[in-house]
Structure 1
Amino acid sequence: MEHVEVARAETERGEVLLRRRTTDRGPAVLELRVNGVFVMDNQETSTEIELAAAALALVEDPRDVLVGGLGLGFTVQRLLGDPRVERVVVVELEEALVGWMRDGTVPHGPALLADRRVRVVTADVRSAVAEATGDAAADGTTGGSGAGRYDLVLLDVDNGPGYLVHDANAAVYARAFLTDVRRLLAPGGVVVVWSADTAPELLDTMTEVFGRCEERAFDVALQGRQEAYYLYVARPDAA
C-alpha cells in the first residue's frame, strides 16, 4: 500500500491532510486525516450517506437542513439527491477543507458546492448554533439563522465523543449544545449524530434533551477490516 500526499494545511488546531491511498487491488482512494487521525475516505461512505438518509426518511417535508461537518461531502451529496430539500447550510471548521472542495482538489467538490441550495459557513458549529439561537431570540422566533427553523440537523464534526480529534469538540456532545440544537428544530424535526463507536453517555444525554433517542449500528468494511459505526437519532415529541 502506498500513500501520496495530495494537500496539507497547518491550523491553530493542528494538521489537516488529504492523501491518496493506492493498492494493487483497486482504484486509488482519497483519505482525510486530522492530526494524524483517520477521519474518512471516499471508498467507504455508507455511514456518511446513511446519516442523511436516516433523517430524510423520518421527515415528511425536509426543506431546511443544517449539517455540522463538511468532510468529503457525501452527507451533503445525499441530501441534495432528495428533491424535497430546498436549503442546506453546512458549517465546517477547517477553511482549507472547504477550499479543497471548491477548487477541485477533492474532484467531486466543485459541482457539489455549486448547487444553489448549498451555503457553506466556515466556523465552529458551536458558535454557529449559538449565533442562530441568539438571532432567533432577538427576532422573537424559536428557530434560527435569520432564515427560519431547521427540519433536520445532522452532526458529524468529529469521530464521536469517545474518539475526539479535537478535545474541544466534547462540547458538541454535551447537554448545553444539544439543547441549543433542539431550539433550532422545526416541529417534527430530527437530529442525527454520527459516532465511530457506541456512546452510551451521548444516548442518555440526547434522551434527556430530546425526550427520546435511538442508537443505530451500521457494519462497514474499512481498509480490509470490519467495523461498526453508529448513528444517534432523536425526534422530539414537540420541537
Structure 2
Amino acid sequence: MDSLDPSTERDLATQALARHDRPRTVLVGGLGLGFTTRAVLADPRVEHVDVVELSAPLVRWARAGLVAELAGLEEERCRLHVADVADVLTGGHEPPGPWDLVLLDVDNGPGFLVHAENADLYRVPGLARARDALEPGGVLVVWSSHVAPDLHAHLQDVAAPGETVAEVPIRVRRDGRSFTYALYVLHRGAAA
C-alpha cells in the first residue's frame, strides 16, 4: 500500500465499472488506502459497496479517520468488514453476496505473494468461488503487480462457455522506470 501512484488501483474500479451496465452492488477485496473503493463510489450507479479487509487495525484507522486517504470512506453506501475475503467468497463469513462486481486486490498477485495463504485466490478453486459470487452478467476483476499468465489461464479454466476472459496490461512510468501491472477480467454470462 502506498499513495505514491494509485492509478492502477483506480483502474481496477474503472475497468470493472465500464464492463457492467448496472453495477449496483460491489465487493472490494482489500481496503488498501481506499483508492479503488473511492473510484467505485464515484459512480452514481453503485448502490452498495462491501469492502472486506483482513487487517482489523486498518479498518479501525479508517473508521477513526487516522489515515487521511481512508477518512470518511465508510458511509451510507459503503460498509467495511474485517474478514478474509476467501471466507466471504465461500459464504463462511459476512457479508453475503452475490454482487454485480467483485474486485480483488488482496496481495501483489500470484507471482509475488506477501501472504502465502492468498495463493488459492489466484488458482482455480479461489477464482471459481469469486466467479460464483457474481450475479448473472457480473464482472470479476483481479489486480496483479505483474503480468501473470497462469492467472489468465486459471480464469479461462473457470469461465463457463460463452463467458469472456481478458488480460489488461497497465504500463506505468514512475521515477524514471517502467512497470507493467495487469488486471484479469472474467465477465460472467447472463442467466439463461
TM-score relative to the length of structure 1: 0.74
Could you say which residue in structure 1 is the equivalent of 2:118?
169
Correspondence 1:117 to 2:77: yes
Would you say the 8 A contact 1:103–1:109 is kept in 2? no
Separation in 2, partners of 1:237, 1:112: 31
Correspondence 1:213 to 2:165: yes
Could you say which residue in structure 2 is the equivalent of 1:75?
36
Separation in 2, partners of 1:224, 1:129: 39
Separation in 1, partners of 2:113, 2:65: 28
Identity %: 48
Separation in 1, partners of 2:43, 2:178: 30
Correspondence 1:58 to 2:10: no
Could you say which residue in structure 1 is the equivalent of 2:183?
231
Q: Give the SS at the match of 1:111.
A: coil
Correspondence 1:127 to 2:107: no
- 1:223 deviates by 4.5
Letter in 2 for 1:119: R
Would you say the 8 A contact 2:62–2:72 is kept in 1? no
Aligned with residue 67 of structure 2, among 106, 117, 141: 106
Correspondence 1:154 to 2:75: no
TM-score relative to the length of structure 2: 0.91
Aligned with residue 184 of structure 1, among 130, 133, 141: 133
Letter in 2 for 1:123: A
Could you say which residue in structure 2 is the equivalent of 1:24?
none
Separation in 2, partners of 1:122, 1:224: 37
Structure with the bigger RCO (C-alpha within 8 Å, sep 6+) is 2
Which structure 1 residue ranges, 5 or more long, are not aligned? 1-39, 136-143
- 1:237 deviates by 2.8
Separation in 2, partners of 1:131, 1:156: 19
Would you say the 8 A contact 2:166–2:185 is kept in 1? yes
CA deviation map 1:179-232 (0-9, x unaligned): 111221111100000001111111001011024311111112344422111000
Separation in 1, partners of 2:58, 2:172: 24
Would you say the 8 A contact 1:216–1:231 is kept in 2? yes
- 1:161 deviates by 0.1
Richer in strand (by share):
1
- 1:238 deviates by 4.1
Q: Give the SS at the match of 1:131.
A: coil
CA deviation map 1:105-126 (0-9, x unaligned): 211312122x211111111111
Q: Give the SS at the match of 2:119.
A: helix
The CA RMSD measured in Å over matched residues stands at 1.8
Would you say the 8 A contact 1:160–1:196 is kept in 2? yes
Q: Give the SS at the match of 2:44.
A: coil
Separation in 1, partners of 2:154, 2:12: 19
Separation in 2, partners of 1:105, 1:120: 15
Q: Give the SS at the match of 2:179.
A: strand
Letter in 1 for 2:151: L
Which structure 2 residue ranges, 5 or more long, are not aligned? none
- The structure having more radius of gyration, on CA atoms, is 1
Would you say the 8 A contact 2:54–2:85 is kept in 1? yes
For these two proteins, the number of residue pairs brought into alignment is 188
Q: Give the SS at the match of 1:112.
A: coil
Separation in 1, partners of 2:73, 2:50: 13
